[in-house]
Structure 1
């Protein structure tokens, strides 16, 4: 089975419900099993800052799907939940990103893994490292190193709600 780490974010509407709906959609897919979910973190917007704060989580998924199939699944979930792409880094009802796929380095037209900006973003690294405890990879070691150099207060990230399992969250 493939280990896939995802980042999910939302800042439009009922943000917590958006995260739950995305999780339900993923769990409803064949050969997608959510093994871990992070706490929910509230984060300041990055890039385009004139928008509401985001809620972010990370998931560990085990799947038999390829990385490109997982990308299609993530995009399907975004579309099902009404994602509209108008402003780069702008407000969104839901955003699913593949952070890591096993220990693979992938660079194709539609997908780059590890996610190209994950090492610069505390809102990705904090939830990711919360659920990656005990799983070693070069990418996670780099993530730990990157996070150590960040000021989380300055990055605008705070724990919003502790989550212990996907079942508890839903």
Structure 2
């Protein structure tokens, strides 16, 4: 089994609901097991800053699905949860990013691994460091990357890693 790391986020509608639904959909897939999930953090927007704060989390998956097919599945889950791509780095109901896949390096038109911006994004590094501090990205651990980046404005929103299992957060 391969280990994949994903980032989830959103800032429109009920992003916590959609992130939970996305994780449950991925976990229900016969070739994916959601093994570990970070707490949820409220984070300031990145890139395009004139929009509401985001909720962000990360998760570790076990899967036999190859990286490109896993990306396709994540995009399918986004569409099922009403993601509309209108503006780069703009508001969104749900976003699922494939961050790392067993340390593989991939560079295609559709997929770059490890995710090319993850070491610059506190909204990825803070939750990922909670669940995978020793994961190595570009020669350094996630914890080291996290210590190097400004984390101002990031606040814990949902503690623990079981928030996504709450059945009260019914799927769309």
Distance verdict in 2 for CA 1:140–1:96, change over 3 Å = farther
TM-score (norm 1): 0.91
Helix, strand or coil: the match of 1:163?
A: coil
Given candidates 158, 161, 165, the residue that maps to 1:164 is 161
Matches of 2:104 and 2:158, distance apart in 1: 31
TM-score (norm 2): 0.90
CA contact (8 A) 1:45 1:54 kept: yes
Helix, strand or coil: the match of 1:45?
A: coil
**What is the number of equivalent residue pairs in this alignment?**
167
CA offsets, 1:120-141, max 9 Å, x none?
00100111111114x5435473
- Per the alignment, residue 124 of structure 2 pairs with 124
Gaps of 5+ in 2: 168-172
- Per the alignment, residue 32 of structure 1 pairs with 32
- Per the alignment, residue 106 of structure 1 pairs with 106
- Could you list the structure 1 runs, at least 4 aligned residues long, displaced by more than 4 angstroms after superposition: 166-170
Matches of 1:63 and 1:69, distance apart in 2: 11
Distance verdict in 2 for CA 1:138–1:85, change over 3 Å = closer
- Per the alignment, residue 14 of structure 1 pairs with 14
Gaps of 5+ in 1: none
Cα RMSD after superposing both structures: 1.7
Higher helix fraction (1 or 2): 1
